[in-house]
Structure 1
């Protein structure tokens, strides 16, 4: 198994580097201008493709054959590593659904605006987390409500 499994953040950073080129969305231009929307669309598509590529690599490694370590400890360690890898891929599968939802929001003209307040999410937050659906304030309030209801 690949010991250097790329995390969600690593994959997003790689996608951002490939998409960025000379352009970075700026607060000097109109919020969610055509240029900004195209940047985020390309970023989301690239991020999704990177996740698919990582999943394909995992599938190839799985098809290499069964684990054949003679030592039970080595075999257990390898099986644990594979379990972690498969859980990571499952998380990324769920992330693809969120990326698809963000792409739909771009098509519908709703991308970049909080689903709770309708206010702009902000370029910095969207660059860091292109699938964000809430402003930081709305997200924090949501998490506080979740914590309170979980504690009840």
Structure 2
């Protein structure tokens, strides 16, 4: 059986996406799901490198805000400083988790537990590099908890 070309139909070129585009699409879909299931109850802050793209206030909790900010930041630069950028971004993410949300400011903060999550989109070359990133987050959380403890005294 021979393949015949249908007259008038141009074959579509293959569509390729960068890893950055795939990650952004995945993050936006995650945000959409969270906002659909928990409208106004769950908040998401996005950190790229050491830049925070939105705030905890409800007006900043929308996909359009994040997409505009992502468009201005653009994909990550050269890989030479990748490790340094990931560490700075993780440290910034822990700092952002320490900022009280409007709900925490209204209510008794002791009653509202911070159940924040950090999602880090990066590549790692080895298991030891992954452990180093995990230790970075753990150390930053310990330091912030110690600062909070000391300020309560």
Q: Same fold (TM over 0.5)?
A: no
Aligning the two structures, in what range does the TM-score lie when normalised by the shorter sequence? Answer: 0.3 to 0.5
Q: TM-score normalized by structure 1?
A: 0.33
Instruction: Give the structure with higher Rg (CA).
Output: 2
TM superposition score normalised by structure 2: 0.33
**Comparing both structures, which one devotes a greater share of its residues to helix?**
1
